[in-house]
Amino acid sequence: MNADTVNVPAIWKSIAANTHIQFRLADFDTLGNPTTGIIHIPTAVTSFANSPSDHKINFATLGGANAWNRNHYLNIPICNLGTGILGYTQMPGVGTASKDGCVINYMAVGKTGATAPYNLGRTITHEVGHWLNLIHTWGDDYGYCYGTDYVADTPNEGNANYSNYPVSTVRTDSCSPNSPGFMWQNYMDYTDDAGMCLFTAGQVARMQATLAGPRDSILSSPAVWPAAVKQIDWTAAVSIYPSPSKGVINIRLQGMTGKTVIRGFDISGNQVLERTLENPDPVTGFDLSYLSEGVYFLEITSLNRRIVRKVVLIR
Ligand SMILES: [Zn+2]
């Protein structure tokens, strides 16, 4: 499913592999309340860079946010880590639960607003590799050949690759002196985002072993809806009228169970509304006359359903 697979050079095509792993944003938080899986925490800490890997970001008392239960969630706190580090991750089977997850520098997240050459999302790909027990392809020996990533099909590599080349470039070093050389295009090297394009079959086996071992509880996490629920079309349960509206709208909710959260977004994705209804009446009125004319989207989430509907405001 990854579009970058077209970049895998011919020399590695036979060992590049599908991980068969997909992540989903959480539908429920640790209290069972509906969530988008993304939360924003205000902090007085301007930089978490003073002591990289100190995990201050994982503690509310130190200006960060407490990690959600690692047995059910992959936590990805995003913050300012300064200029020297893109991210860090606690490996499975070690460390404390409160520090588990992938800490990522905000400037290396996603594509929009991220800083080149770390603007193609590969920092999180690399860190999640660590979260699933992968080790750097150069074996962390920094220039020698004795280090290992405990994966048989990644070639021996002396040191991290920090730059980028046309993806078909064969690169050799003293640990892999002959073609096809070392695998600088691997997600577990330090190559710029644009050059990273594969995990190997051996790495996939190691990640799958982690999901069958120390991280197996994530597979039965209660944080997401069962897949079967997602497949049902619930859109008939909600009607919004009138639309277009001059300001006041009515939302009819049928079959929404328990606490229901209504969030409104403008067409740029900016959130303009959030209301929580503990036990929603069948029809709830909202005065949106404070919003300017235009198209808005309402996301309505309850314990059993999530629905998005469009609303048009006119003056
Ligand atoms: Zn790493």
194 shares a domain with 123: yes
Ligand 1 center from residue 30 Cα (angstroms): 28
**142 lies in the same domain as 255:** no
Q: Where a domain ends, among 182, 205, 224?
A: 224
Q: Residues 6 or more apart from 49 whose CB is under 8 A from it?
A: 80, 81, 82, 83, 84, 85
Write the CA distances from 67 to 49, 133, 182, 282, integer angstroms. Answer: 19, 19, 37, 36
In the chain, the DSSP E strands lie at 78-79, 87-89, 102-105, 238-241, 248-253, 260-266, 271-277, 283-287, 294-301, 306-313
Label the pairing between strands 248-253 and 238-241.
antiparallel
For residue 251, what pLDDT is reported?
86
The answer on pLDDT for 239 being more than 90 is no
In which domain, by residue range, is 242 found? Answer: 227-313
Residues 2 and 111 occupy one common structural domain = yes
Residue 6 shares a structural domain with residue 55: yes
- Residue 309: is its pLDDT beyond 70? yes
Same domain, 63 and 93: yes
In a shared domain, residues 121 and 47: yes
Pick the range with the lowest mean pLDDT from 57-71, 100-114, 183-197, 269-283: 269-283
Domain end (from 204, 224, 244): 224
One domain, residues 259 and 298? yes
Q: The CATH number of the domain where 81 resides is what? A: 3.40.390.10
Pairwise pLDDT comparison (84 vs 187), residue with the higher score = 187
User: 19 and 49: one domain?
Assistant: yes
- 144 Cα–ligand 1 center, Å: 17
Single out the residue in 175, 199, 224 at which a domain terminates. 224
Looking at residue 231, what is its pLDDT?
43
| DSSP alpha helix (H) spans, the chain | 122-131, 201-211, 227-230
Q: Which of 54-58, 207-211, 255-259 has the lowest mean pLDDT?
A: 255-259
Per-position DSSP letters for 7-23, written without gaps between them: G--GGGTTTB-------
CB burial string 133-160: b at 16+ within 10 A, e below: bbbbbbbebeeeeebebebebbbbbbbb
306: confidence class by pLDDT, cuts 50, 70, 90: confident
Task: For residue 171, give the 3-state DSSP assignment.
Answer: strand
Whether residues 200 and 145 share a domain: the answer is yes
The answer to whether 75 and 124 have CB atoms below 8 angstroms apart is no
175 CA distance to ligand 1 middle (Å)? 20
Instruction: Summarize pLDDT for 38-94 with one digit per residue, the tens.
Output: 999 999 999 998 665 678 899 999 999 999 999 999 999 999 998 889 999 999 988
d(CA 294, CA 311): 8
213 shares its domain with 302: no
Asked if the model's pLDDT at residue 228 lies above 50, the reply is: no
| Rounded-to-integer distance, Cα 3 and Cα 6, Å | 6
Tell me how far CA of residue 279 lies from CA of 68, 282, 297, 309, in angstroms: 26, 9, 22, 20
pLDDT band at 234 (very low <50, low <70, confident <90, very high): low
Would you say 216 and 142 are in contact if contact means Cβ atoms under 8 Å apart? no
Say how many domains are in the chain. 2
- 260 φ/ψ angles, rounded to the nearest 5 degrees: -125, 130
Q: Find the 59 Cα to ligand 1 centroid distance in Å.
A: 22
Q: How many Cβ atoms from other residues are within 10 Å of residue 19's Cβ?
A: 18
Beta partners for 274? 263
Residues 129 and 241 in one domain: no
CA–CA distance, 105 with 94 (Å, rounded to integer): 23
Q: What is the CATH number of the domain that holds 264?
A: 2.60.40.3080
Note the pTM of the prediction, 2 decimals. 0.76
Please tell me the distance between residue 88's alpha carbon and the centre of ligand 1 in angstroms: 7
Q: Is there a single domain that holds both residue 153 and residue 273?
A: no
Task: Count helices and strands (H / E) in the chain.
Answer: 3, 10
127 is catalytic: yes
Of these residues, 127, 157, 274, 293, which one is catalytic?
127
> Ligand 1 centre and the CA of 18: distance in Å?
20
